[in-house]
Structure 1
Amino acid sequence: MDKRVLFQKFVAFTTAVHEVTNEITTDVKSDTITPVQYHILEYLAVSQPVTLSQISDCQHMSMPNTSRELRKLSEKNLCEKFAVPEDRRKQYIRLSQEGQAMMNQAFHHIETRFLQRIQDTSEEDLEQIGLALDVLHSKVFHSGK
C-alpha cells in the first residue's frame, strides 16, 4: 500500500477517534475536577504507576503545571505519590482508592456508551474490530520503548 495513502487514512482515523472519544466521554467526569485533571486521572487509570515526567509528556503540560495539578488531585484524595524501595529518589504516582472508584464509575459510563455504539455489530465484525485494535495497538500506538 502507498504509505502516503496509509498516512491519510491514519489521520482520518485518529481524527475520528478524537471525535468519538469526546462523544462517549461527555459528562462522565465529576464536577469536582477540571477537564485537565480528568485526563490526568484517566491516564493514571490505564498506565499507573507513572512518574511526573511521564504525565507531563503524555498530557503535553509543563512539569510545573503537571506538578500543580497533581497536588490539587492529591488534596482531593484522588491520587498519591510513593517511592520505590530500589530508588527512594524516584517518585511514582498512582490513583488513590477514591480516585480508582471515580475512574471505575467514569469507565462504566464510557463502556455503556461504547456498547450502545456497537450493539448492532455482527459477531464477525466484532472479531475483526478486536483484531484491528490489537494490530493498531502493537504496530502503531505502542511506545517503542
Structure 2
Amino acid sequence: MDKNALFNQFVTFTASVHQVTNDLTQNIITDAITPVQYKILEYLKVSQPVTITEISDCHHMSLPNTSRELKKLQEKKFIEKISDKDDRRKYFVRLSEDGEQMMNEAFACIETRFQQLIHDVSDEDLEEIKHALNILQQKVFKLDDRL
C-alpha cells in the first residue's frame, strides 16, 4: 500500500467534502445569524453539550472571539449555557428550543439537497457509500483518538 498516495487521495477527499458541505449549506443561513454563528450552531446540533474551549478548538477561533459569538447567539436566544454541577466556573453550551427549531429547519433543507445529490445512485452503491462512511468514521475520524 502506497501510504503517500493514500494521503493525497485523502486530502482530495477532504477538500471535496468541504466543497459539497459548502454547496449543501449555501443560502441556508438566515439573516438572523452570521456564517460563523451558523457553524457554531451546526456543531452544537451534532455535539451538544460542549464547552467553550471545545467550540473554540473545533472552529480554530480564539476563546475571546468564541465567547463574543456565543454571547450574540445567547442574546438571540439560540443557545443556553448550563453550569457544571461539579465546577461552577465551568459551563456547557447547548441549543435552546429556538436554536433547535432553526437547526432542524436548516438540516431539513440540507437533507433535501442531499437527497437530490443521491437521487440517481443505485441501492447497491448507496450501501457501499454507507459502508465507506462507517469505515471512515471508525478508522479515520475517530472522535476519541484525535491527534
Q: Which TM bucket (shorter chain)?
A: over 0.9
Q: Give SS of 1:80's match.
A: strand
Deviation at 1:72, TM superposition (A): 0.2
Q: Which amino acid in structure 1 is aligned with residue 3 of structure 2?
A: K
Which blocks of at least 5 consecutive residues in structure 2 are unaligned?
none
1:4-46 Cα deviation digits (max 9, x unpaired): 0100110010011011111111011111100000000000000
Task: Compute the RMSD of aligned alpha carbons.
Answer: 0.9
TM-score by length of 2: 0.96
Deviation at 1:84, TM superposition (A): 2.7
> 1: distance between equivalents of 2:84 and 2:15?
38
> 1: distance between equivalents of 2:8 and 2:18?
16
> 1: distance between equivalents of 2:131 and 2:88?
41
1:71-95 Cα deviation digits (max 9, x unpaired): 0000000001001323333200000
Which blocks of at least 5 consecutive residues in structure 1 are unaligned?
none
- Structure 2 partner of 1:69: 69
Write out the 4+ residue segments of structure 1 that deviate beyond 6 Å after TM superposition: none
> 2: distance between equivalents of 1:90 and 1:34?
26
Q: Which amino acid in structure 2 is aligned with residue 22 of structure 1?
A: N
1:29-65 Cα deviation digits (max 9, x unpaired): 1111000000000000000000000000001000000
Identity score, percent: 59
Deviation at 1:138, TM superposition (A): 1.1
> 2: distance between equivalents of 1:31 and 1:90?
31
- Structure 1 partner of 2:38: 38
- Structure 1 partner of 2:23: 23
Q: Give SS of 2:31's match.
A: coil
Q: Give SS of 1:8's match.
A: helix
Deviation at 1:129, TM superposition (A): 0.3
Q: Give SS of 2:89's match.
A: strand
Q: Which amino acid in structure 1 is aligned with residue 118 of structure 2?
A: I
- Aligned length, in residue pairs: 145
Q: Which amino acid in structure 2 is aligned with residue 26 of structure 1?
A: Q
